[in-house]
Amino acid sequence: MTIIRTDELRLATRRGPVFGPVSFVSDTPLTVIAGAPGSGRTPLLLTLAGRMRPSGGSASVLGDKLPHDLRALQRRAAIAGFHEIDDLEDTVTLAQTIAERRAWLAPWWAPKRRASEDDVRAALAPVFAPAAGSAPTGGTLVRDLDELSRARLQLALALLAEPELLVYDGADRLQSEADRAAIWATLARIAATGVRVIASGTESAARTARAEAAAADVPCTVAWLAPAGAATSPSQTIAAAQVSAR
């Protein structure tokens, strides 16, 4: 099954090109959009999640065609790790954070309820397992979480929507190499459950992602993003589709 297919996909504003043209194919559970800072990785991820409308070209994500099926894709895709889009509130507890996200996802008429400790454990299990005992409790304040735990919490909140696709943009903001490797391992575990994952990173991050994906036996495709305005050559497109690792 083809997860992503883009053909000359691009985005431009009045100030100039933002990304593209981009052409690549991915049929693996984990896809890494790799490129230098400023290459347009974040806008491309938001476009592939149905949150931004491309200026030209075409794309298909999980069978939804962009830009025609933008709203349908929005309902199937969740995003996490996007600066100023899903930032966490430091002054509340994890239980409050999870309860608020569940209330936001529920129908407007559904009664709001608190998140119990069991609710918190269930929400965090997909992103903290298999490190038994490492997950924080519901009473923990968000501001008391370390950097890696904050990143995992963002992933957990996104997964509460039960998406078919998770799009993540926060790996490169983690300061330590160990934390970056850990978050790629977490993304690979999520992909192994059947949720398709698209994430961004530098060339170094792409190497880490492939290593962690291989360790989890999850096929991974890396699509190399050239600077905006630089067309992707056919050879680059083929390479992007063939770097999947098992």
Q: Do 54 and 43 form a contact (C-beta atoms < 8 A)?
A: no
Kindly state the percentage of the chain with pLDDT values over 70: 91
- 30 burial via Cβ count (<10 Å: 0-12, 13-18, 19+): buried
Label residue 232 by pLDDT band (50, 70, 90). very low
At residue 131 the predicted structure's pLDDT band, cuts being 50, 70 and 90, is low
Residue 1 is predicted with a pLDDT of: 75
Q: What pLDDT score was predicted for residue 157? A: 98
Q: What is the pLDDT of residue 35?
A: 93
42, with CB counted inside 10 A (0-12, 13-18, 19+), is: buried
Judge whether residue 132 has pLDDT over 70: no
Asked whether residue 217 carries a pLDDT value surpassing 60, the answer given is: yes
pLDDT of 243: 38
Is the pLDDT confidence value at 47 over 90? yes
Query: For residue 60, what are the β-bridge partners?
Result: 5, 65
Q: How many CB atoms sit inside 10 A of residue 71's CB? A: 9
Which pLDDT belongs to residue 230? 59
Query: Which of 134, 138, 136 lies closest to 118, judged by CA?
Result: 138
Q: What is the average per-residue pLDDT within 213-217? A: 96
**Residue 241 pLDDT class (50, 70, 90 cuts):** very low
Per-residue model confidence (pLDDT) at position 61 = 98
3-state class (DSSP) for residue 66: strand
Domains of the chain: 4-242 (3.40.50.300)
Please write the tens of the pLDDT for every residue from 193-203: 999 999 999 99
Quote the mean pLDDT of the chain: 90
What is the amino acid identity at position 193?
T
In tens, the pLDDT along 8-43 reads 999 999 889 999 999 999 999 999 999 988 899 999
Q: What is the average per-residue pLDDT within 215-240? A: 69
| Strand ranges inside 43-136, DSSP E | 56-61, 64-66, 77-80
Cβ-based neighbours of 65, under 8 Å, separated by 6 or more: 58, 59
Closest CA to 55 of 3, 6, 5, 19: 19
Mean pLDDT, residues 117-139 taken together: 87
**pLDDT of 208 over the 70 cut:** yes
HSE-up (13 A, CA, CB side) for residue 197: 33
Closest CA to 30 of 220, 215, 231, 226: 220
The edge-to-edge listing of strands for the beta sheet with 196-201 is: 77-80, 165-168, 196-201, 30-34, 220-224
Angle at 142 between CA 140 and CA 143, to 5 degrees: 110
CA distance 94 to 102: 12
Q: Is the pLDDT confidence value at 239 over 90?
A: no
Please state, in angstroms and rounded to a whole number, the distance separating the CA atoms of residues 45 and 228.
Answer: 14
Contact assessment for residue 180 and residue 188, using Cβ atoms and an 8 Å cutoff: no
Q: Which residues neighbour 72 within 8 Å (Cβ) at sequence distance 6 or greater?
A: 50, 64
Q: What is the pLDDT of residues 147-190, one digit of tens each?
A: 999 999 999 999 999 999 999 999 999 999 999 999 999 999 99
